[in-house]
Amino acid sequence: MSHLIAPSVLAADFANLQKDIEMINQSEADWFHIDVMDGVFVPNISFGGPVISAINKHASKTMDVHLMIVDPDRYIKDFKKAGADILTVHYEACKHLHRTVQAIKLEGMQAGVSLNPHTPVAVLEDIIKDLDLVLIMSVNPGFGGQSFIENTYKKISQLKELIEKTGSKAVIEIDGGVNDKNAEKLVSTGAQVLVAGSFVFKSDNPSQTIHELKHLKY
């Protein structure tokens, strides 16, 4: 498949959210990426179910919801109800990861698992075949606008090898510091979904920036 672009709504203009949602709808973006933070798992708080429900009323594309929260199992049904198509939990936040993944799938959503920068790909070996998506954090989670961590390329290569070895159908998503300087290398290394927040929404022409990320020369 050609790579997908998932603008991160966390970087949008919260005072004029509908305008930015319409921009994503009309752009060449593929997914809405929505970060949910609880102030416990990460040192920041963002929107929850009610805001996601409001976005979902206007969004015409896949809702890719990334939970950066402790005890995500308690809220799986809530996020399905809010409109999530893909629900990604953190490996580091789940005591019983297999059970969590199965609970997500039981609700009819695709299941993703995210890895923090310090977490090795190898921890997914026993569950990779059950996953629809693996999200590699290329910055430390919690805040937008951070610098990209170069070790990400190595992790993408390792993850791609694990997916191919096991016959998993999981796609590789990258979140954090994605821009025009690293996007081509990320995709050529094996990334299939690029999450871009500040780089898109702080640009002079977000639609054009999405277009350029979508049409990389690799």
CATH code, domain with 59:
3.20.20.70
pTM here? 0.96
What's residue 154's pLDDT? 98
Give yes or no for a contact between 37 and 142, defined as CB atoms under 8 angstroms apart.
Answer: yes
What's residue 168's pLDDT? 98
How far are the Cα atoms of 12, 18, 21, 92 from residue 31, in angstroms, in the given order? 14, 16, 11, 25
- From the first residue on, what is the mean pLDDT of each consecutive set of 10 residues in the chain (218 residues)? 92 91 98 95 86 94 97 97 98 97 98 97 98 96 79 98 98 96 97 96 97 90
Range of the domain at 19: 4-214
Give yes or no for a contact between 99 and 71, defined as CB atoms under 8 angstroms apart.
Answer: no
Give yes or no for a contact between 6 and 30, defined as CB atoms under 8 angstroms apart.
Answer: yes
Any idea what the Cα angle at residue 21 is, between residues 62 and 174, rounded to 5°? 50
- Judged by phi (left if over 0) then psi (alpha if -120 to 50, else beta), residue 75 lies in alpha
What is the DSSP track for 88-118?
EEEGGG-SSHHHHHHHHHHTT-EEEEEE-TT
What's residue 147's pLDDT? 84
**Which percentage of the chain shows pLDDT scores above 70?**
98
**Segment holding 163, helix H or strand E:** helix 152-166
Instruction: Show which residues are catalytic.
Output: 35, 175
* Number of domains, the chain: 1
What's residue 141's pLDDT? 83
What's residue 144's pLDDT? 64
What's residue 146's pLDDT? 73
